[in-house]
Amino acid sequence: MEKVCAEVKLINGIDEGDARNRIISEDEIRVCSIDILVDTGSYMLAINEHIQEYLQLPVVDSKKAQTADHRIIDCDVVAPIVLLFQNRRFTGSAMVLPGDSEPLLGAIPLEEMDVLIHPLRQELIVNPEHPLYAQLKLK
């Protein structure tokens, strides 16, 4: 299977709320567009230190994570972060990987956004069974 990446937008969730409450203007919301590796072997959203620094996301926790080469590393967890892909939205937390590590889009945000990898085109797509909205499973 080829490496699958997607273009997404990341938003500082606190800024988004502050703009909604008219504490800051829409122009002051910290946002960035990135290419992210779609990694169904990962659970969470993972960004790197440069993205965290740019978005100024607050650290809310710390977790240990196992890397692809089986090392165990300590990662800060930041929140709230908003991820946008096409007409889908994920709001939650992200692990912070060291330096300029490649950002990862894991299984939890993929499920919440109801997106999947198209097997022939090797690209992230909105679930064709629910093209207008994300439908979550509760069972």
With cut-offs at 50, 70 and 90, classify the pLDDT of residue 138: confident
CA neighbor of 58 nearest in space, from 124, 91, 12, 9: 12
pLDDT in tens, 11-61: 999 999 999 999 999 999 999 999 999 999 999 999 999 999 999 999 999
Q: Please determine, for residue 135, whether its predicted confidence score (pLDDT) is greater than 80.
A: yes
pLDDT in tens, 72-114: 999 999 999 999 999 999 999 999 999 999 999 999 999 999 9
Up-side HSE of residue 138: CA atoms within 13 Å toward CB? Answer: 1
Cβ contact 24:15 at 8 Å: yes
- Going 21 to 30 to 78 to 91, the CA torsion angle's sign is positive
Up-side HSE of residue 30: CA atoms within 13 Å toward CB? Answer: 14
Taking residue 82's Cβ as centre, other Cβ atoms within 10 Å add up to 19
Q: Please determine, for residue 10, whether its predicted confidence score (pLDDT) is greater than 90.
A: yes
- Going 22 to 94 to 33 to 7, the CA torsion angle's sign is negative
